[in-house]
Amino acid sequence: MNSTFDPATCTYATCSVKDYGQLQYIPSLAGNAFYLAVFSLACLAQIWLGVRYRTWGFMCGMLGGIGLEILGYAYRVRLHYDDFDNNSFIIYLVGLTLGPALFSGAIYICLARIIAVYGLRLSILSPRTITIVFVGCDLVALILQAAGGALASIDSTPSLGQTGVNLMIAGLASQVASTTLFCGLCLQIVFRIHTRPSLINHNSAALRRALAFRLFLIAIAIATVAILVRCCFRVAELSRGFSSALANNEVLFMVLDGAMMALTVLALSVGHPGPALGVMWAQGGFELRRRQRSRSSKKGARGIAYTVKPQPLQTEISHAGLPK
């Protein structure tokens, strides 16, 4: 090969995939098409559920993540036909790297409402603080991964490409850290539920016993663990480089990335917060401006935040300070 050789001009007939391919294997058409179909169906389900139950914030996070997963697997299908295409590789990499961060954001805003249902005093952090802190951490992880993907796509020099990879690893590592802290907070709440039942909001007992609410809690647990497993795998994969055996093991990728994210969207579709919380989701909206005016005028928030007298559970959720 001469010095002007461009791997992008390769075909399967003229070049070795192991030596010049973006991946050291030809991606499975059936496997990647399967995940493409799964996420496409999940997209339709999330649109219907989101509109039906008006869970706008949750729907935006889920659709953003699913859209990136669809993009990633669509370009893995393209890589099946041309594994030498750098653009397809970068788009697949960025899509499947960023998607789970948006799923995490959707989960974080759910915890705030779960706390409001069980009782605000059970958590060491207020629902509003939880939303701000964890969604903020998620945003940092997203920015780092996006910046890393952008630099990796330029790849004008080996050092610039490596900087991009390092930023993506940092973003994934920060997502692992925030997800681990999130799990710790969930365990703290569960511990208090069992050790300090007097703090539980008994007005929501019927809601908590409902099958839809229990499915919702199970879905959150499954999705959180699946995202954590996937992020740990991607950190290990990227830290060893694109040419490592781990980064070129499609079976592991399909199980520890694809299956984990498919499990996440399946769980959050079956255990969707809409049927679990119903109108309580919308009533969790935080009327920031009204509260600020109320506090500044010292007239009290309750008389301003509601136009009708709320029920006990509605009051607890509305005072939790949650975004829609």
| pLDDT one-digit tens code per residue, 130-166 | 989 999 999 999 999 888 888 877 766 767 778 888 8
Name the burial class of residue 198, with classes exposed (0-12), middle (13-18) and buried (19+) by CB atoms within 10 angstroms of its CB: exposed
Task: For residue 240, tell me if it sits in a domain.
Answer: yes
At 97-106, the pLDDT tens digits run: 999 999 999 9
Task: For residue 4, tell me if it sits in a domain.
Answer: no
Task: For residue 294, tell me if it sits in a domain.
Answer: no
Task: For residue 299, tell me if it sits in a domain.
Answer: no
* Spatial distance between the Cα atoms of 157 and 152, rounded to a whole number of angstroms: 10
Please state, rounded to an integer, the average pLDDT across all residues of the chain.
85
**Percentage of the chain surpassing pLDDT 90?**
60
Average pLDDT over residues 3-13: 76
At 209-266, the pLDDT tens digits run: 999 999 999 999 999 999 999 999 999 998 888 888 998 999 999 999 999 999 999 9
Where residue 284 falls among pLDDT bands split at 50, 70, 90? low
Task: For residue 125, tell me if it sits in a domain.
Answer: yes
Task: For residue 65, tell me if it sits in a domain.
Answer: yes
* Spatial distance between the Cα atoms of 51 and 53, rounded to a whole number of angstroms: 6
Task: For residue 10, tell me if it sits in a domain.
Answer: no
Task: For residue 18, tell me if it sits in a domain.
Answer: no
pTM of the model: 0.84
Whether pLDDT at 293 is above 90: no
CATH of the domain at 57: 1.20.1070
* Spatial distance between the Cα atoms of 260 and 255, rounded to a whole number of angstroms: 7
Query: For position 322, what pLDDT does the model report?
Result: 58
Q: How many domains does the chain have?
A: 1
Domain with 154, as residue range(s), is 24-285
